Structure 1
Amino acid sequence: MASDQGAASPTQSIPSVFELAVALVLILLNGVFSLSELAVVSARRPRLQVLAEQRRAGARAALALAEEPGRFLSTVQIGITLIGVLAGAFSGAALGERLTALLGAWGVSSGLAEPLGYGVVIGVITYLSVVVGELVPKTVALQNPERIACLVAPAMTMVSRVAGPVVWLLDASTRAIFRLVGRGAEAPAGVTDEEIRAVVAEAETAGIIETHERAMIGGVLRLGDRSVRGVMTPRTDVAWLDLDDTDEAIRDTLLTTTHARLPVGQGGQDEILGVVQVRDLLPDLMRGRPLSLRAHIRQVPVVPDRLSALDALSVLRRAPVPFALVHDEYGHFDGVITPADILDAIAGAFRADTDDPDPEAVRREDGSWLLAGSMPVDEMADQLRVPLPARREYETVAGLVIDALRRLPRTGEAVEIGGWRFEVVDMDGRRVDKVLAQAPAQTED
């Protein structure tokens, strides 16, 4: 009897190797489907479009799969499900039976050999399926999703065509369920500002872009959300010429100004007639001849203060003189906007263009921030991570404090906004000049 058992053992080992090979092949196929799924889903469509235009092999197929995620996911799910059924029905059962017989041959009781044999086989197959069939392929797919998507797309397209009726049924069923619950099956397209900022922050951390580049990208994103009121030079800071002034006073203004263009009014800022370019007046100014100020006035466009900053930039591009007057809804003069104001919003103010040499935001040793009242509130919110309402009527830190208090503040008054304490530390007449911002932890200390 012992010799019979010894003769049967090598015979049983031959099909066991075959069945083990089948199990490994099924696990590897599962890995291919997992790799394909994550690669195509994670691949960036603009990058796939660029690869398709470069005639990269498989790029157009990958782009087609990405544009029809329902059909593609149905194809992947069919493959994974079919592989799982085959692995459980064929490899698991066959290998479990072989291992049970082997344990019985080693003297293990039949009551223990069967659960132990099937349990070991199921455990090993499950482990290999998770590691080799899921984790490793998906990790590889995340490392270079576009390249891998191009590699696997032709094969996945072929599988989708072969299993066309089943794929259509699954995709149609999914869409029907989404319609029943009142939602679309397609994911919302587009990228939010927050996602772009997160990508830029990650690129800065990785050393791909510099800190100043990140700041400028943030400025461009903020510019798209600002109105003219948020980037203009307010009327209180506008240097201008008055036709009613004496020739000597006009000469003094022209000699001391740092601006290339100046608005011209008569009797007050609400009667602005146009602008003059200082260079046009230089010949008369240098030779001591009378200034023909009115003859050099040029007409410039007038824009409403609620116009978007990007639309105002388009107006400046088309204008014969890159200069625009800003009026409110009642027709009152509010300020001016120039290309320098747009550049200021993107890259920050140049020291030569401002009367205040101090930066708009200074972080102190205790972690608090000393802010200029004129600092754009969206820049402050990005710097301090202070939440702001989507719709607001103010554009500066001073406006934020005034809106919270609902009146003009006094020196020393404070208000809690978004978890921060904003204290007015300096007033310049009726203008909020400096504000101290403290986080809650700093306030408690």
Structure 2
Amino acid sequence: MSLNRYRLKHLVKKKHRGAKKASKLLERPDRLIGVILIGNNFVNILASAIATVIAVRLWGDAGIAIATAALTVVILIFAEVSPKTMAALHPEKIAFPASYLLSPLLKLIYPLVWIINGITNTFLKLFGINVTGDNNHHLSTEELRTLVHEAGALLPQNNQNMLLGVLELSEVTVNDIMIPRNEVIGIDLDDDIDTIISQLSRTEHTRLPVYQGELNKVVGLLHMRNLAQVFHEGQVSKAAILQVIREPYFIPESTPLQTQLLHFQSHNRRIGLVVDEYGDIQGIVTLEDILEEIVGELSSNNKEEDQEIFLQEDGSYFVDGSAYIRDVNKSLEWDLPTDGPKTMNGLITETLESIPDANVCLQLENYRIETLQISDNVIKTARIIALPKTEADD
């Protein structure tokens, strides 16, 4: 009963004979317990009867008390506590050899086991307990996450992080990781061709949205590889760009990352435009963004330029207002609320229920937040310090 069920299944798949027999016995734990306890109680009662007879012959009526006390100590030490403690600590060493004895013993006394189990199972049904129900052990997402955390040295830290990233995909939506609309870089067909050519020659991205005047009027997605031939022929024009673009791919903002990863795969896409319930474009998300949720940052280029969190000498942090709360929590192992706004700017303004005219200080749970820079109705920078739990409670 102390066997690790998942290791047992693994050993069964490897054709381990003892594991196969133990697994077969555990399919009906009521029968396994029945055959063990029949033998256990039979031996204990028989030993008690024999010890009482011997003690009475040696010491008379006082022998009953002597036999009871002596046999209790002997059974507790040698038949209960010691063997069961050893079996609990090393279940495989005990269970696998024992299964070779218990399996034939169960067949031998099966009629007796069947009668006793029939009576006990009927009694248990009075309390709504179904002993023949599904005995499979299934783990929830939270239990799997705990299992990964407790793997310790058995799993390298990088592997643990990747497994945890996979488990979180169904809990995170595309609007949690998307590049927000105000940071989207694209080609505006209303610009003159020289401006467009200059932008294309300097861009670091391989895929760009192409739009007419504003992002909501997107006409397609441009892959720089498709434009290489146009550049080679020296015939770059707006018409040539329109010929090599691909139709836009739209993604509802509430789509879980796990679902979107499958959609990217089935539609042979690597980038999509995130839209809200009204069809307005909120940002873009790429296949790389989703993979980074699993494996971490794929590229260290421009890491210093993209840094949004800066440690200060007093233990506080300067955090960019556009930083995603999930990224801050991951980097600093904090638990800022993520069920509302996605960015620090949104979290602060929602807590204040207004956009502050000047710098303010507030406390959110056990985090003290001070705005440092506000411009264009946006909080650009904030100082955040995590308070000890007791101080936060006070």
- Between 1:168-177 and 1:308-317, the stretch displaced more is 168-177
Equivalent residue letter for 1:82: F
CA distance in 2, matches of 1:180, 1:408: 63
Q: Deviations over 1:249-269 (max 9, x none)?
A: 212322222111001111111
Aligned with 2:282 (options 334, 345, 369): 334
Q: Which runs of 5 or more structure 2 residues have no equivalent in the other structure?
A: none
Could you report, residue by residue, the CA deviation over 1:231-256 in whole angstroms, capped at 9, with x for unpaired residues?
A: 22222221111111111221232222
Residue 171 (structure 2) pairs with residue 225 (structure 1): yes
Aligned residues: 384
**Structure 1 counterpart of 2:12, one-letter code:** A
- Structure-to-structure mapping, 1:24-35, within 5 angstroms: none
Q: Do residues 70 (structure 1) and 11 (structure 2) align?
A: no
Deviates more, 1:159-168 or 1:191-200: 159-168
Matched, 1:127 2:77: yes
2:249 to 301, 305, 316: 301
For residues 70-98 of structure 1, the C-alpha deviation after alignment (integer angstroms, 9 at most, x for no partner) is: 3333333434333433343334x256557
Question: Of 177, 189, 196, which residue of structure 1 is paired with 2:144?
Answer: 196
The separation in 1 between residues aligned to 2:77 and 2:288, in whole angstroms, is 63
Give the TM-score of the pair, scaled to structure 1. Answer: 0.72
* Whole-angstrom distance in 1 between the partners of 2:317 and 2:53: 71
- Given that 1:377 and 1:397 are in contact with CA atoms closer than 8 Å, whether structure 2 keeps it comes out as no
Aligned residue number for residue 15 of structure 1: none
Partner of 2:220: 274
Say whether the 8 Å CA contact 1:381–1:387 is kept in structure 2: no
Task: Please show how residues 42-441 of structure 1 align to structure 2 within 5 Å.
Answer: 42-44=4-6, 47-91=7-51, 93-94=52-53, 96-97=55-56, 101=59, 115=65, 118-141=68-91, 145=92, 149-168=95-114, 171=117, 180-182=126-128, 185=131, 186=134, 189-204=137-152, 207-285=153-231, 289-291=235-237, 292-349=240-297, 350-352=299-301, 356-358=305-307, 374-377=323-326, 380=329, 384=333, 386=335, 392-396=339-343, 401=348, 404-407=351-354, 411-417=359-365, 420-426=366-372, 429=375, 430-431=378-379, 433-434=381-382, 436-441=384-389
Cα distance change, pair 426–213 in 1 and its aligned pair in 2 (3 A): farther
Question: Residue 414 of structure 1 aligns to a residue in which SS?
Answer: strand
Deviation by residue 1:317-367 (Cα, 9 ceiling, x = unmatched): 12344222211111111122211101221233333376843265x677776
Structure 1: runs of 5+ lacking an equivalent:
1-36, 105-109
User: Deviations 1:105-129 (Å, cap 9, x if unpaired)?
Assistant: xxxxx97x87456534432332223
1:114–1:198 CA distance, 2 compared to 1 (3 A): same
Residues in 2 aligned to 1:177 and 1:432: alpha-carbon distance in whole angstroms:
69
Taking every aligned residue pair, what percent have the same amino acid on both sides? 24
Between stretches 263-272 and 156-165, larger displacement belongs to 156-165
- Take 2:129 and 2:383, find their aligned partners in 1: how far apart are those partners? 47
Contact 1:404–1:415 under 8 Å retained in 2: no
Cα-to-partner distance string for 1:371-427 (whole Å, 9 max, x where unaligned) = 5553353872796464969xx34445555555555555674432333xx22524445
Q: What TM-score comes out, normalization by structure 2 length?
A: 0.80
Distance 1:242 1:53, change over 3 A: same
Code of the aligned partner of 2:5: A
Compared with structure 1, are the counterparts of its residues 128 and 62 closer, same or farther at alpha carbon in structure 2 (3 Å cutoff)? closer
**Max Rg structure:** 1
More helix by share: 1
Q: Cα offset for 1:211?
A: 2.3
CA distance in 2, matches of 1:133, 1:413: 63
**Contact in 1 for aligned 2:272/2:286 (Cα 8 Å):** yes
Q: Distance in 2 between matches of 1:121 and 1:66?
A: 31
CA offset digits 1:112-157 (Å, max 9, x no partner): x87456534432332223443321222221xxx3x75444334333
Instruction: Give 1:4's aligned residue.
Output: none
Q: For 2:208 and 2:189, how far apart are their aligned partners in 1?
A: 12
Residue identity opposite 1:322 in structure 2:
R
Change (3 A) 1:395 1:120: same
Secondary structure, aligned partner of 2:72:
helix
- Shift of residue 222 of structure 1? 1.4
